[in-house]
Structure 1
Amino acid sequence: MQCSYFDAGVCRSCTLMGVPYPDQILDKEIRLREMLATVGTASAAEDGTATSAPAPIDWLPAITSPESGYRNKAKMVVGGSVQHPTIGILDHKQRGVDLRACGICTPGIRRALPVLADFIAFAGLIPYDVPKRRGELKFVLVTESPSGALMVRFVLRSEGQLPTLRKHLGVLQEALPNATVITANLLPEHKAVTEGDREIVLTESDTLPMPLGRTLLHLRPQSFFQTNSTVAEQLYGQVAEWVDVANPRSLWDLYCGVGGFALHSARAGRTVLGIETSREAVASATMSARERGLPQVRFIAADATEYAVHAKPDRVPELVIVNPPRRGIGADLAAWLDTSTVQTVVYSSCNPTTLVRDLEAMPSWRVTSARMLDIFPQTDHVEVVTLVERRGA
């Protein structure tokens, strides 16, 4: 992939830009295999003697992505002036750098960004000046569904320009008719985050349908969703395949987000419970389960670790799916899994370093199968999904 922004030196976020894509995949696979090959080698038997080397992992072919146009969510900083707003990033002096033609964004997002820039100027929304801590509009967040529908979120410092945004909403909807969800998010604090806690929905719809294969998911404004729809569909398919082979009567989907793993793994006679701290995500997942007529699939808003470690023994499932944030599942949940009656774990990781740490804290388990996922081409970011089974099983 070639990028004029990278070539000009105005954006170096994609650190592997220019590296042939096959080489990117090979390097990431080698790194993952080396990291996971060490899991279990430092453990010791009960009598203190060293254990034998771990059994080889069955590595499945990598799940690759289109090199460009793959990112379904753009988190764009708004800079510049009212008359000439920039949508992109900030440079080293905290000035706006316009990236409205960013090649890793989906085509629908690339078409939308110039329209949004024109709307910002037309409506007179004042870009936030980071050094001076003045202005109102901090970010524009745009998500595209595989169907082409858009969710557009304006991150404002206060309600000061909310009336202006409401007044001109019709103009934006006419210029961007596929923007089915438009919101204002309030972020009054001056800190390095992209959104605040309060969301004000400006459109009739507050949910973006996200069809992936035969499963329709729903995304509300503050819910997490995989940023690469092409790879996400294959990831959910791989996990569902492993779950079907294990054929558990019950499973938990911890850190379930909008329910992608749970809904793809739902089968007749199988009870499924999704746990997620975000109430917005739980509402989205519950909507999807209800629409599909899956009464055996439930979602609750709770902390995954707290729920698991305090679960009654008769509530513990046969299989657990975990898809934690970059910090991993942590020592407490890893310890609980190690001593629980759970028979199979599927661990989807966006941070191989914490994955290895968590697996080392689960000496009763071993990785039997693994698959790399290239969710972020042109970067050194790598994700992996693993099938983890009890030793000796």
Structure 2
Amino acid sequence: MQCDYFDRGVCRSCTLMGQPYADQVLDKELRTRELLRAASDAALDADGTVVEWLPAVRSPESAYRNKAKMVVGGTVQRPTVGILDHRQRGVDLRHCGICTPGIQRALPVLAEFIVDARLVPYDVTARRGELKYVLVTESPDGSLMVRFVLRSEGQLPRLREHLGVLRAALPEALVVTANLLPEHKAVTEGEREIVLTEQETLPMRLGGVTMHLRPQSFFQTNTSVATQLYAQASAWIDEVSPASMWDLYCGVGGFALHAARPGRAVTGIETSREAIRSAKQSAREAGLADVRFAADDATEHALRARPDSVPELVVVNPPRRGIGPALADWIEGSGVQHVVYSSCNPVTLAKDLERMPSFRLRRARVLDMFPQTGHLEAVTLLTRG
């Protein structure tokens, strides 16, 4: 992939830009295999089993990212939509090539809307202004969720007044919200969300499953690869055919909803109440009577569980820090027989596996969720003994 922003040195976020894509994927696979070498050797030493490494899942090299988190800088008359440079000045990236086509079409329209609605960009250095970020998510069917992150309610009347203009210029924007972030700190969004449209959720249809995405809920940023991730995990789960499973760090319920089968008791756990609202709505609309979701901490949920409620299989999809010692130790000492571990950080994945020596690594696969960067997703199947 070629990127003018990268070539001009104005954005270096995609650290592997210009490196042949095949080399990127191979390097990620080799790095993950090396990090999981100890787990692979343990499986071989225990029963002679050789870990099955499936071919890496590739992504489109460009136009893959379904969510754009754009800093708004500049002035009302000439806003920038992109990032900040080392002097905290706005750098415009409205034509970023890793964003999906719908987002690429939307960003210039949103920049014009900022001018028309006279939304004042936030000046980080001076600590004045209102509009901090524009967050855009595109669904697989081309619909959009647009979120304006504001410092206060001061410009809400302008947003409401010009909402019709925005919807006319960008009819695919089904969900439009204002998020309030009054603090001056390095976070992307605040706790309070004000939905400005009648529709509150963005339907995300992947592999025959429709998930509802609310404004403050996590969703995988690469639709194509996420579809294959859920399909791979579901295939492994069906292979071992558990009667019960937990989906920890479930987000909006991706693994749980894809792995749901008649007679299989599925529980999804996630700290975000908004994500759990989304997951419950998806399960209800799909008629999945054996699937339940609850807002809770994954580790605390496990530690409180009665021995007779422990599932046969656990799916974990933690943030970059991994599941950590407490949850890894609980899984090791529990009656869980199988684990599907999906990780965006193979370093912490390897550390967590070291704390679960009773489990053998059986299958593994690298999925290139983040082309042009060093990040990746790895999914593994672990079986006790």
TM range (shorter): over 0.9
Task: Give the corresponding residue for 1:226.
Answer: 220
Task: Give the corresponding residue for 1:317.
Answer: 311
Shift of 1:52: 6.4
Deviations 1:262-320 (A, max 9, x none): 01000111110000111110011111111111111000001110011110111110000
Shift of 1:390: 1.0
**CA–CA separation in structure 2 for the residues paired with 1:233 and 1:271:** 22
**CA–CA separation in structure 1 for the residues paired with 2:15 and 2:142:** 28
Task: Give the corresponding residue for 1:238.
Answer: 232
Specify the SS of the correspondent of 2:154. coil
**CA–CA separation in structure 2 for the residues paired with 1:161 and 1:329:** 40
Deviations 1:196-242 (A, max 9, x none): 00000000011000001211111000000000000000000000000
Task: Give the corresponding residue for 1:8.
Answer: 8
Conserved? CA contact 1:40–1:360, under 8 Å: no
Structure 1 letter corresponding to 2:187? V
Conserved? CA contact 1:3–1:17, under 8 Å: yes
Question: Structure 1 segments of 4 or more deviating over 4 A?
Answer: 40-43, 51-55
Structure 2 letter corresponding to 1:19? Q
Deviations 1:81-116 (A, max 9, x none): 000000000011110000000000000000000000
**CA–CA separation in structure 2 for the residues paired with 1:323 and 1:296:** 21
Task: Give the corresponding residue for 2:120.
Answer: 126
**CA–CA separation in structure 1 for the residues paired with 2:222 and 2:81:** 21
Specify the SS of the correspondent of 2:39. coil
Structure 2 letter corresponding to 1:4? D
Task: Give the corresponding residue for 1:46.
Answer: none
Shift of 1:42: 9.0
Shift of 1:56: 3.0
Conserved? CA contact 1:372–1:383, under 8 Å: yes
Matches within 5 A, 1:33-52: 33-39=33-39
Q: Does 1:109 align with 2:100?
A: no
Shift of 1:7: 0.5
Conserved? CA contact 1:85–1:127, under 8 Å: yes
**CA–CA separation in structure 1 for the residues paired with 2:128 and 2:10:** 24
**CA–CA separation in structure 2 for the residues paired with 1:185 and 1:366:** 45
Q: Does 1:86 align with 2:51?
A: no
Task: Give the corresponding residue for 1:355.
Answer: 349
Task: Give the corresponding residue for 1:258.
Answer: 252
Of residues 138, 153, 173 in structure 2, which corresponds to 1:144?
138
Conserved? CA contact 1:40–1:363, under 8 Å: no
Task: Give the corresponding residue for 1:380.
Answer: 374
**CA–CA separation in structure 1 for the residues paired with 2:47 and 2:317:** 27
Matches within 5 A, 1:137-286: 137-286=131-280
Structure 2 letter corresponding to 1:214? G
**CA–CA separation in structure 2 for the residues paired with 1:109 and 1:52:** 49
**CA–CA separation in structure 2 for the residues paired with 1:62 and 1:73:** 23
Task: Give the corresponding residue for 2:27.
Answer: 27
Specify the SS of the correspondent of 1:190. coil
Conserved? CA contact 1:74–1:105, under 8 Å: yes
Q: Does 1:97 align with 2:121?
A: no
Q: What is the root-mean-square deviation of aligned Cα atoms in Å?
A: 1.3
Unaligned runs of 5+ in 1: 44-50
**CA–CA separation in structure 2 for the residues paired with 1:151 and 1:374:** 25
Conserved? CA contact 1:323–1:349, under 8 Å: yes
Structure 2 letter corresponding to 1:73? K
Specify the SS of the correspondent of 2:258. helix
Specify the SS of the correspondent of 1:240. helix
Specify the SS of the correspondent of 1:39. helix
Of residues 34, 38, 57 in structure 2, which corresponds to 1:63?
57
Conserved? CA contact 2:40–2:50, under 8 Å: no
Q: Does 1:77 align with 2:71?
A: yes
Structure 2 letter corresponding to 1:137? L
Structure 1 letter corresponding to 2:243? R
Specify the SS of the correspondent of 2:98. coil
Structure 1 letter corresponding to 2:225? V
Conserved? CA contact 1:41–1:53, under 8 Å: no
Structure 2 letter corresponding to 1:179? A
Shift of 1:39: 3.0
Provide the TM-score with structure 2 as the length reference.
0.98
Deviations 1:157-196 (A, max 9, x none): 1111111111111110111000000000000111111000
Structure 2 letter corresponding to 1:38? A
Specify the SS of the correspondent of 2:364. strand
**CA–CA separation in structure 1 for the residues paired with 2:78 and 2:48:** 59
Conserved? CA contact 1:226–1:232, under 8 Å: yes
Task: Give the corresponding residue for 2:322.
Answer: 328
Percent identical: 71
Deviations 1:27-85 (A, max 9, x none): 11110111101237699xxxxxxx76984321001111000000000000000000000
Conserved? CA contact 1:145–1:209, under 8 Å: yes
Specify the SS of the correspondent of 1:386. strand
**CA–CA separation in structure 2 for the residues paired with 1:61 and 1:153:** 37
Conserved? CA contact 1:185–1:196, under 8 Å: yes
